Structure 1
Amino acid sequence: MQPTLLILAAGMASRYGSLKQIQKFGPSGETIIDYSIYDAIRAGFGKIVFIIRENFAEEFKEIFEPKLKGRVETAYVFQDINAFVNGHEVPADRTKPWGTAHAVMCAKDAINEPFAVINADDFYGRDAFEKMAAFLQNECNDKTYSLVGYELGKTVSEHGSVSRGVCAVDSNSNLTGINERTKISLENGKIVADEGDTKLELAPETPVSMNFFGFAPSVFGISEKLFDQFLAQNASNPKSEFFIPLVADQFISKGMGEIKVLPTSAQWFGVTYKEDAPGVQASLSALVNKGEYPDNLWK
């Protein structure tokens, strides 16, 4: 059975103002999502599910359907703030959705096979998709999930600090914890995490999560129970969010199973800062020139 790729794109409209402005980075106007989908199809994924907001569904489909028709199955799922709240009161002043793990839950009816989750605006690289596809086809089950571990040095920005999930990994390549460090930056050629009073130097090869997870459909039921507990404690906080690492952490710590860290040599890139954009464009041009990608993905 071919695995599915779930793309988290519900936050995009708010960040870009309008979908018409989704940035074009490739030589033929490709967005970062185009490269992820292209890599996923050639790695063996059989279906692409987009999580979007309902108010820009038509605009979104107009962008992606003409490119993907006949190449891969697609489905569109809406992240609705009232989904799965199970009787909990949603604060009237809450406008933002409940976070990435809630977005995943909203795809429950569209996915019945092992699947991967990615962010819409991150470039993950061919190697990462190939490793994930092999895991989902051969190893994934209700007790074994996965996460692509990037080398920290390949995920930092020269233009300011970034937030990264620093992974603790045991000798069997299983995840033992994710520590969200919110201020990681380059200082005099070293990678430093700002911990308030102290600065912690991190090795460039430290594995970090860029939200590229591999799950079996059993994650939906696990997430629903955890979301119920989350709302009992956090529903009244308008800024609280239910994130995927929270589900991953509970899955491991409660002994439900293990999460394999799949190491990749791929260079991650994304646009954390406006100033990152020319670098992303240059990196993609270099990959096209090397023959890793055609100069027009969907021709």
Structure 2
Amino acid sequence: MSTTSAPPAPLTDQPLRGLALIVGATLLFAYTDTANKLLVTDYNVPLVMAVRYITHALLMIAVVAPFQGRRMIQMTRPALVIVRGGSLALGSLLMGLALQRMPLAEATAIAYLSPVLVILLSGSLLNEAVSPAAWFAAGLGFGGVLLIARPGGGLDPLGVALTLGNVVFATGYNLLSRVLARTERTLTLLFYTALFGAIIFGIMLPWTLYGQTPTALQVVLFLSLGVSAGLGHYLLTQSYRYAPAAILAPMNYLHLGWAALFGWVIFGHAPDAIAIIGIALVASGGIVSATMARRRRARAREEVAAAPEETV
């Protein structure tokens, strides 16, 4: 297989577009988590993950491959692509196991320590400027997480440990998304994400293919996992082409709001007043991040426009 591909679309400075893509991605991720939680009540986690990734991979082959051809499988940095795909698969496994033991909103809140780590690491690892506004936005989001999760609130210790393991893998996945956006096409990254998950969990199928006969609703949930997860990760990967990781990370916290809403509607876990304040802080972090980024770009354009006049 050739590892030389046509150059991907270049990175551009369009943070509002990147943030809009993140909003869609977080909604789809919250739906995926909700469907996962519904399914892992009756089925083992590796089986649910196998159906999710195999469905995703088959959809890519059936729908995308006829239009993309060999471009879909061509990589420039295969080692990093493999590590990224493996990180997501392992993180998904740990999150599925955590959802067997924890409420949706609390598990999601702990998982969203990952965007804080992305902000902390993007400066040193990705050479991206981390402004005071980004730190402030991250602080708002982290404070919201603390209010929603409220440490010491009787959460299952093993569930917390599994979710923290997911945080580690999710941080690596998000950082690699930004790194690989410079050299790889979005659909290529999406395909290999699905392929690696399908292989990892497909190998486990002979030992995990058991459980009750699914109902019609469960069949729909199983099949929709690949669609929602695949489209969500497409939007997430595409967003990194338009904005730095430090700008996008705070907006990832919207996933918490969606998770709280789905937890309330589906599982009857209505957020209390403190949790609502936490969700508001999370949303505020994203707004601050977008607003400050827009102001910095406007000032930069003004400085560039004024520079020739000063040198005349």
The structure with the largest alpha-carbon Rg is 2
Report which structure shows greater RCO (CA 8 Å, sep ≥6). 2
Same structural fold, with TM-score higher than 0.5 when normalized by the shorter chain: no
| Structure (1 or 2) with the greater helix fraction | 2
| Structure (1 or 2) with the greater strand fraction | 1
* TM-score, length basis structure 2: 0.30
